[in-house]
Structure 1
């Protein structure tokens, strides 16, 4: 089982116990407003999401981690790697992404977990490059992207939801520098 420990977090695969806490995160409009069309997810949709995340782990050898606080074992969100399903310009890339419960914002957890995921991608899984796709205006995620050392590469429009998206990237040589 793939696990990563940081000073405050455990990044791990998904268990049945994660369904209710993740569904609570996914039901928060403020958390979901930057994702897709901003719709929240109910319990059944969250179960489907966890199933898809686990399938990606099985198929790709990487995926989205469940993130829990080491001190309490409490699930605080999702961080990790995924094969993007759009926009077309990034379909050949691997993206890093994150989503934390609102009560965990502003404490450095997203940056801590994202940094561990980026290191996992580039050093453990041998990926040469990782991107991040950020919806324009999401300054909190932009801050995490800057902390990861990712550079802005281009802007594009989400073909489904028509939001302006910013594509950032980092390759192994930039990461190691």
Structure 2
């Protein structure tokens, strides 16, 4: 799938050529306080590794993270990324919903919009049974996105050496809400 669109956004698979856009996210301390294991911004090397891993995921699995842009005037402006991808959670391979939005786009429903599009793909097209999501316990905004999408809190876990909260969404529950 080469494009994933929402009401306001156009999404394309993340590729190494998206470095400048992802770098913008990775240099924002507000964003990285919710994404990085230590809460610090990423180095250029870490951003390049992130994009390389995202591109490899696409090659291996045919799905992954999309970069989303909003059309403003005649230009497409990067707002963030999101999608579903493989992740190891408590030693088990899961399909994880992930997203990161520019901090100047927070609070207007962009993360939920991206998440719903990714979940529709996962459940309606790929026929997945369940998708997980997790975040740091204090990340109330991300927890709100998960809950708005229909995820339910399961338990506290440790991920990347840090406490996280694990949420799960079963296909039958998502389809019943749609």
TM more than 0.5: yes
Q: Deviations over 1:51-106 (max 9, x none)?
A: 11011011112111111113331111110112114x425x3211001111111111
- In the alignment, which residue of structure 1 is the partner of 2:164? 165
SS at match of 2:134: strand
**Does structure 1 conserve the Cα–Cα contact (< 8 Å) formed by 2:16 and 2:51?**
no
Aligned length, in residue pairs: 173
Check if 1:33 corresponds to 2:33: yes
Query: In the TM superposition, what is the alpha-carbon distance from 1:157 to its structure 2 partner?
Result: 2.3
Match of 2:22 in 1: 22
| CA contact 2:83–2:97 (8 Å) conserved in 1 | yes
- Partner SS state of residue 70, structure 1: strand
Counterpart residue number, 1:57: 58
Q: Aligned-residue CA RMSD in angstroms?
A: 1.6
Between stretches 49-58 and 7-16, larger displacement belongs to 7-16
Alignment correspondent of 1:138 = 139
How far has the Cα of 1:108 moved from its partner?
Answer: 0.7
CA distance in 1, matches of 2:71, 2:98: 21
| 4+ long deviations beyond 3 Å | none
CA contact (8 A) 1:79 1:99 kept: yes
State whether structure 2 residue 81 is matched by structure 1 residue 78.
Answer: yes
How far apart in 2 are the matches of 1:124 and 1:2?
A: 14
Cα contact 2:16–2:52 (8 A) shared by 1? no
Q: TM-score, normalization: structure 2?
A: 0.90
Q: What does the per-residue CA deviation read over 1:6-56, in whole Å, with 9 as the maximum and x for residues that have no partner?
A: 110111113455211210110111101122221211333212211110110
Q: Is the 8 A contact 2:15 2:52 kept in 1?
A: no
Q: What is the TM-score normalised by the length of structure 1? A: 0.90
| Runs of 5+ consecutive residues of structure 2 not aligned to the other structure | none
